[in-house]
Amino acid sequence: MSAVLQPRSMTAELEGHFRAFPDIPREVVLKIELLSRGHWFTDAALAATKGSLVKSYRLFSYDLVSMDSLKRGEARQVPEWFFVFQGPYDLRPVMVQTTMDPNSPYVVDVVDGRLVLTEGGRIICNVSYPTEPAYYKKKFDDGVLYHEIIAYGYFVTVFRQCQYWGPKEECRFCDINENARQMKESKEFTLNAPTKRPEYVEEVGREVSREVLATDGHQAGVRFLITGGTITKTLQGMTEDEFYARYLRALKYGGPRRHVALQTNAKTKDETKWLHAQGMDEHNANMEVWDRRLFEWINPGKNRRIGYDEWVRRLVDSVDVLGEFNVRPNFVGGIEMAKPHGFATIKEAVDSTTAGLEFMMSHGVDPRFNQWRREPKTNLVKEHEQPPVPTEFYIRLMTNRYEIWKKYGLSLPVKREFTVARRYMGNDHGTYDDFPLLMEAPWYQDPRCRTPEEVLARAAGWTTPRKLSIHGPADAG
């Protein structure tokens, strides 16, 4: 009788990566896996989300399944991100953006009254959900919730659609238009208009500053990111620059100690100067992929309207206006290997993007990497099967980014943000901040700090930890 081969468990694969890359933080490897393959929540884990920072669907869906396939009302229950920590691998806490997929091997569950991450019935680590801010309960007279105007005190999507429309214009990884459509069809959101009222943005920005004053005991600085779809001609009678400038002014000059980033197409030096005068401190002209051939394929609208060489030139020129590392384009890490035209090998893909990292950082540009989520209604996924990008790709690329980060002497990615976790623990959507923080931040080197509360108390200098997350059903509500 022949033996039946059992499928290799993801836990075994995780441990294989730990052995293959012993100098890489294990927290990074797990986070890469959770963003790449998604995760799911049992009924018990879903019930424990009450009182947590709810997922905003702020720009894209960041899910591996469409919203209409979520039958338990998950879209208005799951957290924006969650923390993974401790467990048999003694992990330090990192933030993971919620990426729903019922077919994922990774499942958040409740065991012995605690939230845990499991795979095949095995516990990988503990989990907790961030608690919601006080302003999340507030709403305008027309019923629009404050947090649908500004998510987690930072993210402001002011135009929910994009005028790059259809397969000949849209960026192939992007589901901004489909996400706006599914949010409206769900009837679960209080704001379905394609644009946000500037006076609403200004008021919620003020509420964010008021809450910071109340929680921190002084008027600490805050950051906002203004983003939205491309405006190729006009919107509400305004050009792209004119439209977004209204929100720059509302946030930059609507309260104290503001750092305001704008995310749009690449701008000329004169346009950057004008937007800077309107209140823009930082610009994110998202290039998405470094390789010229892939840029032309992945970004047909951006390539037609601006082009590769001009995009790169504008990134470099913007540094002269905004200063070193205040030009922060996003790259969708992993689309270098998208089928059918992406690189065939990990080495080719890593080498290409690493060359871009070297060029950009040597010119004062700070590239960010949002890990590709393979949303089902994007052009890339609809037209070709897209398997998960190998975890090794992300490990090697982010290792290279960290080495180049050290080479050019960048500071630790600590930012004065509304959410204390985002101040000291980086971002939820990728691992580019996790590398330098886990390797060098003092609060991550202290073996006594293993829960989110302990790490953040150490980082912020609090004498006692504060309640910042939900660890189980007893904390929910």
Determine the pLDDT at residue 165. Answer: 87
Instruction: Tell me: pLDDT of 316 over 50.
Output: yes
Distances (CA, A) of 282 to 208, 225, 414: 20, 9, 15
Query: Which residues share a beta bridge with 260?
Result: 224
Q: Which two tokens stand for residue 127?
A: 């989990």
The tens digit of pLDDT for each residue in 418-447 reads 999 999 999 999 999 999 999 999 999 999
The angle at the Cα of 174, spanning 191 to 188, to the nearest 5 degrees, equals: 25
Cβ atoms within 10 Å, residue 344? 9
pLDDT digits (tens, 9 = 90+) for 76-108: 999 999 999 999 999 999 999 999 999 999 999
Based on DSSP, count helices (H) and strands (E) in the chain, helices before strands: 17, 13
d(CA 434, CA 181): 33
For the record, the structure tokens of 68 come out as 């209409």
The whole-angstrom separation of Cα 241 and Cα 11 is 49
**CA-to-CA distance for 381 and 173, rounded, in angstroms?**
8
- For residue 235, the 8-state DSSP code is B
pLDDT at position 340:
98
- Checking if the pLDDT of 8 tops 80, the result is no
- For 249, half-sphere exposure in the C-beta direction (CA atoms, 13 angstrom radius) is 12
How high does pLDDT run on average in the chain? 96
In angstroms, the CA 277 to CA 342 distance is 40
- Asked whether 423 and 83 are in contact (CB, 8 A), the reply is no
Q: What is the pLDDT of residues 275-303, one digit of tens each?
A: 999 999 999 999 999 999 999 999 999 99
Q: How far apart are CA 121 and CA 188, in angstroms?
A: 33
Instruction: Give residue 70's pLDDT band: very low, low, confident or very high (50, 70, 90).
Output: very high
Residue 395 has pLDDT above 90, yes or no: yes
The predicted-structure confidence for 338-373, as pLDDT tens digits, reads as follows: 999 999 999 999 999 999 999 999 999 999 999 999
Class of residue 25 by CB neighbours under 10 A (exposed 0-12, middle 13-18, buried 19+) = buried
Q: What is the pLDDT of residues 142-169, one digit of tens each?
A: 999 999 999 999 999 999 999 998 889 9
Q: DSSP letters of 380-428? A: HHHHS--PPPPHHHHHHHHHHHHHHHHHTTPPP-----SSHHHHHS--S
Is residue 477 very low, low, confident or very high in pLDDT (cuts 50, 70, 90)?
confident
Provide the percentage of residues in the chain whose pLDDT is more than 70.
98
- Write out the two tokens for 427: 């971002």
Q: What is the pLDDT of residues 177-191, one digit of tens each?
A: 999 999 999 999 999
User: Does the pLDDT of residue 32 top 50, yes or no?
Assistant: yes
323: left (phi over 0), alpha (psi -120 to 50) or beta: left
The confidence score (pLDDT) of residue 167 equals: 84
d(CA 456, CA 95): 12
Average pLDDT over residues 55-61: 96
Between CA 419 and CA 153 the distance in angstroms is: 7
Helix axes 308-322, 269-278, angle to 10 degrees: 40
pLDDT at 41 over 70: yes
What is the chain's length?
477
Tell me, what amino acid is at 19?
A: R
With 60 as the cut, is the pLDDT of residue 6 above it?
A: no
Mean pLDDT of 42-59: 97
